[in-house]
Amino acid sequence: MILTTGSAGFIGSNFVLDWLTQSDEAVINLDKLTYAGNLDNLATLKSNPNHIFVHGDIGDAALTAKLLTQYRPRAVVNFAAESHVDRSIHGPEDFIQTNIVGTFHLLEAVRAYWSGLTNTEKAAFRFLHVSTDEVYGSLDRDEPAFTETRRYEPNSPYSASKAASDHLVRAYHHTYGLPVLTTNCSNNYGPYHFPEKLIPLMIVNALAGKNLPVYGDGQQIRDWLYVKDHCSAIRCVLQNGKPGEVYNIGGWNEKANLDIVHIVCDILDELSPPATHHLPFSTYRSLITFVTDRPGHDRRYAIDARKIERELGWKPAETFETGIRKTAQWYLDNQAWVNNVLSGSYRQWVEKNYTERT
């Protein structure tokens, strides 16, 4: 079996769902259930004996050690992280505690467990750390995309905390020999995405007839990766990746934020026109509102994903056009899930982060 952390969140829950669809290998799912951790994401696994959920924190070294000893997993996949740049600007301490200190405690527990394995078990064991392209900093429009050898230049408390965790993972391989793998992915989108990030926020706000807040001029460029493609890449790296190596995972879909918002609006105009919701306008594009940019907003990210394709044979299955349509349809088909996450605390956060920028 494998142990995953932070896998009641967006990417982690998609990974667990896909894993148990394709494998009989059990998963121990350790999650702290902060605001973005949602057991509704895993509702279809309630009666699945191969899914063992444990409510806990990667910073709790005693709990992690107990789980490792009890279940003896062959691999650990670390999704656990605070991941929203805007939240890191308003309150960086949680990011330091989870992404740096939490990763340290997790590595210590895993190192102690791994040290007690037989030589055969040690050789087969893997610790896979899921990270982000934001650790590389910002690109000019004409610069080449990020490769795995790009210098780290994080520009936000979030990306700085993830960069620190990446360095810790690397150090535990080079110092102790722990067989680690690191993946740095581009912007994910897809089902179960908490609606603080761009695409789900636009979908949820549009269907409610609310403003669609776009930072600055909306020309910040990101590479977009459908979450299920990301999950398949992680499975590929876990199975075939070389210990100590870093693999960039991207969707080969560079688009400006404003273009993303236009695409989402146009798809919703087609799939769920404003008139069906008794909204007093003919196109969702009329809701677009430009707001004050966030501090230090990186202008462009782009992932060069040739290494993982060349060495491991992985490439994304979805284009942005197919993936974004599936995503919009999922939100339309899962309004109960959406309504459950739109709590009072969520509304307060949106008010703090967006309305005050207008």
* Structural domain for 239, as ranges: 2-191+225-253+298-318
Mean pLDDT of the chain: 95
Give 357's pLDDT tier (boundaries 50, 70, 90): low
Selected catalytic residue, list 158, 284, 331, 354: 158
Does residue 138 form part of some domain? yes
Q: Which two tokens stand for residue 196?
A: 């603080």
Domain with residue 248: its CATH number is: 3.40.50.720
Does residue 104 form part of some domain? yes
Residue 137 has pLDDT above 70, yes or no: yes
pLDDT tens digits along 278-295: 999 999 999 999 999 989
Does residue 122 form part of some domain? yes
pLDDT tens digits along 313-337: 999 999 999 999 999 999 999 999 9
Selected catalytic residue, list 57, 82, 134, 196: 134
Does residue 277 form part of some domain? no
38: helix, strand or coil: coil
Closest listed residue to residue 133, CA positions, set 288, 11, 298, 276: 298
Distance in angstroms (rounded) separating the CA atoms of residues 216 and 301 = 17
Look at 105 and 345; give whichever has higher pLDDT.
105
Provide mean pLDDT across the span 210-217.
Answer: 97
Q: Is 153 a catalytic residue?
A: no
% pLDDT > 90, the chain: 91
What pTM was estimated for this model as a whole?
A: 0.95
pLDDT tens digits along 153-182: 999 999 999 999 999 999 999 999 999 999
Provide mean pLDDT across the span 3-13.
Answer: 97
Determine contact, residues 247/186, Cβ cutoff 8 Å.
no
Residue 349 has pLDDT above 70, yes or no: no
For residues 211-246, one letter each, b for 16 or more C-beta atoms within 10 angstroms of the residue's C-beta and e for the rest, the string is ebbbbbebebbbbbbbbbbbbbbbbbbbeebeeebb
Region label for 244, one of left (φ > 0), alpha (ψ between -120 and 50) or beta (otherwise): left
Q: Is 321 a catalytic residue?
A: no
Give 196's pLDDT tier (boundaries 50, 70, 90): confident
DSSP string covering 287-319: GEEEEPPPTT---B--B--HHHHHHH----S--
Give 218's pLDDT tier (boundaries 50, 70, 90): very high
**How confident is the model at residue 86, as a pLDDT?**
84
Q: What is the radius of gyration, based on Cα positions, of the chain?
A: 20
**How confident is the model at residue 243, as a pLDDT?**
98
Does residue 283 form part of some domain? no
Q: Is 166 a catalytic residue?
A: no
Does residue 142 form part of some domain? yes
What's the domain count of the chain? 1
Does residue 357 form part of some domain? no
Selected catalytic residue, list 82, 133, 166, 298: 133
Does residue 150 form part of some domain? yes
